A = this chain, B = another copy of it.
Amino acid sequence: MASLGDLERSVMSLLWDSGQRLSANEVCEQLDEDLAVTTVLTVLSRLEKKGLVQRERTTRPHRYAATASREEHTVQMLNEVLGTVPDREAVLARFIGGVSECEAAALRKILSP
């Protein structure tokens, strides 16, 4: 349910990079493309409805921020993908089989008790 379009992804990326609460105008300016503010507002609303963005309604202009960090969100995505298969560990085994030795070492370190 949390698939994002290109523009939605750009906006999230922006919010993640600047850990700040941004106004729609700020988001609009910082985007590479040259879009109408209403466009950005629409996208922000949609992201809010999807639960990816949190909006401060008390201030004027409203300020928007990502509800979860990029990492948290991506982990959620990973788990969503893993939820589509019957044997989660089989997939993880194969995933690990495909990573570089370098990354494998990093994973070992993370896992070491």
Q: CB within 8 Å of B: which residues of A?
A: 3, 9, 70-72, 74-75, 77-79, 81-82, 84-85, 87-98, 103-104, 106-108, 110-112
Complexed CA–CA distance, A43 and B76 (Å): 28
Q: Which residues of B contact A88 (CB under 8 A)?
A: 103
Q: Are the CB atoms of A89 and B70 closer together than 8 Å?
A: no
Q: Are the CB atoms of A110 and B85 closer together than 8 Å?
A: no
Complexed CA–CA distance, A37 and B94 (Å): 35
Q: Are the CB atoms of B111 and A91 closer together than 8 Å?
A: no
Question: In chain B, what residue has the closest Cβ to A104?
Answer: B111
Q: Which residues of B contact A108 (CB under 8 A)?
A: 108, 111-112
Known: A96-B110, A111-B104, A111-B111. A77 touches B81 (CB 8 A): yes
